[in-house]
Amino acid sequence: MFFKYLFIFCIFSTLGWILEFIYRSFMSKKIVNPGLMTGCVVPIYGFGAIILNIICELFSSINSNYKVLFIFFSSIILLSMLEFLSGFILYKFMNLRLWDYSSYKYNYKGFICLDFSLVWGLLALIFYLFIYPSLNGIISFVISSKLCIFLLGIYIGIFLIDLCLSIDLVKKLKIYSNLVKEIVDIEKIKLEARVEVSRKKLLNAIYPYISINKYLKEKLKKLK
């Protein structure tokens, strides 16, 4: 069971990163590494996929014509709750905003909005109809393969290093936020870092930790 959810978390954290990368880069018309971590991972998608898998398992034994609707609406509610709690915790305790839906209609404090909640529902249906039926077979194959377990271990090792770097960065961002007395918009900080830090633009976009960390060090020196 542990390896099952670990695998789901890893795969969908990366798939979520790819989805966010394409969407944000397209909307910004430049390369954007989504989220706060440097690697190709957005953990909220991994946790969301675990929730979706549990929802699908609960409803899979139910013989009802309305099963798809139950999955759709329950996914909207639970994934929106996950998104709200993630955004609220970062905002309340770390003075960070990783996303802001304030410009969207029918939003709640900028953490969730109707548009994206419906998107989560649609993604849940795609997961249920096209991914979930084959997921247990894929997981069984991965768990039985020493090579796959080895590669999964490497992935986890890289993820943990990235997580430690990200935690260090969050601490610096909180110190910076306290000094300037305002909530830090991470996307705004990324843009400022890309402009001010002397690095190649591509590396600056792909590895935000490097540029933001250097940018914050220079800012904190001036503010203290």
87-100 pLDDT, tens digit per residue, is: 999 999 999 998 99
Residues whose CB falls within 8 Å of the CB of residue 61, separated by 6 or more in sequence, listed in order: none
**Residue the block writes with tokens 């898998």:** 53
Token pair recorded at residue 185: 């918009």
Of residues 220 and 92, more confidence is placed in 92
SS3 182: coil
Question: How many percent of the chain have pLDDT more than 70?
Answer: 88
Q: Which domain covers residue 204, as residue numbers? A: 2-223
Record the tokens describing residue 98, joined without a space.
């990783």
Burial 185-217 (b: 16+ CB within 10 A, else e): ebbebbeebbeeeeeeeeebbbebbbbbbbbbe
Dig out the tokens for 51 from the structure: 């929730």
pTM assigned to the model: 0.90
Q: Give 39-77 pLDDT, tens digit per residue.
A: 889 999 999 999 999 999 988 877 777 889 999 999 999
User: How confident is the model at residue 32, as a pLDDT?
Assistant: 78
Please check whether residue 205 is in contact with residue 31, taking contact to mean a CB–CB distance below 8 angstroms: yes
Per-range mean pLDDT, top range of 4-13, 24-33, 176-185, 208-217: 4-13
Residues making up the chain, counted from first to last? 224
Per the structure, the count of domains in the chain is: 1
Minimum mean pLDDT range among 104-108, 142-146, 185-189, 213-217 = 213-217
